[in-house]
Amino acid sequence: MDRRSFLRAVAGIGLASLLPASASGDLTDVAVDEAWQALEEAPVEFVAENGCTLVVANYPNPKTRLDLFDLSESCIASPRDLAWELDSCPPLAWHVGRLSEEMKEEALYALQEKLDEQELPKADACKQMAAEERNWPDADDPDALADWVGRIDETSFADVAASVRAWLNDEPDWRWEADYFSDYAHGQSAALAFFQQQPPELLDALGIEIVEGECPGSTYYAAEIGIGIEEANRVAKEMAMPVRFSRG
């Protein structure tokens, strides 16, 4: 078994806390030995729910978008950083699009009030309003939004960044955003992501099958165990693989 690959898989599904601090950097031989010993003492536990669906035991319950998306607050470090993420995270683009629409409405309202005070001819006022509208992006186009974010002034970006920070730390829209959660958003997807990284011979030995939709259009994706829990634990011990299974 490739211990380094195994340890990276453990850390990669959000379980780095199970490993000693030495494993958070470069995996030297000493760090690998320390991390492996830690896992041998406290193996990664998977629960077989409904008899077969594997879930990481005691997996942290996600509460915010930071828990669920492949994002961090570093995405608002600069306009360039935020613009870079818009294409890869549609829900983030939706939020920034809504912000741009709100700011556009405020700008158009302020301009309209100014033009009304100046009592300009209607044609001239319409031209200025049209010119202002052209300064704003199509809120449904991530590329246009990215271009807009990249050119807004410092004060406006500060407002956008503050709104995005609050959005990241808020509870997600479970109905509309779930399709874009990361591969380890919850215990079932974390277990799937973990076993997808394991070699086929190991999956065969443990009787684990990767299910990616039970039928066309299905949203059920999981790692399933097809042998008894006792048998799976016996095989894991024989293979010196620091995982254990239990019934849900």
- Find the mean pLDDT for residues 115-123: 88
pLDDT tens-digit profile of 148-162? 999 999 999 999 999
- At residue 185, does pLDDT exceed 90? no
| Mean pLDDT of all residues belonging to the chain | 89
Q: Which two structure tokens, joined as six digits, stand for 133?
A: 């509208």
Residue in the structure block whose two tokens are 């629409």: 101
pLDDT score, position 221: 87
The vertex-50 CA angle with 179 and 227, nearest 5°, equals 110
Residue in the structure block whose two tokens are 């195994």: 6
pLDDT score, position 25: 59
Task: Calculate what percentage of the chain has a pLDDT beyond 90.
Answer: 62
- Find the mean pLDDT for residues 140-144: 95
- Find the mean pLDDT for residues 111-125: 89
pLDDT tens-digit profile of 35-77? 899 999 999 999 999 889 999 998 877 789 988 888 899 999 9
Going from the C-alpha of 11 to that of each of 7, 23, 81, 98, 222, the distances in angstroms are 6, 9, 25, 35, 19
Least confident of 13-17, 23-27, 153-157: 23-27
- pLDDT band at 26; cut points 50, 70, 90: low
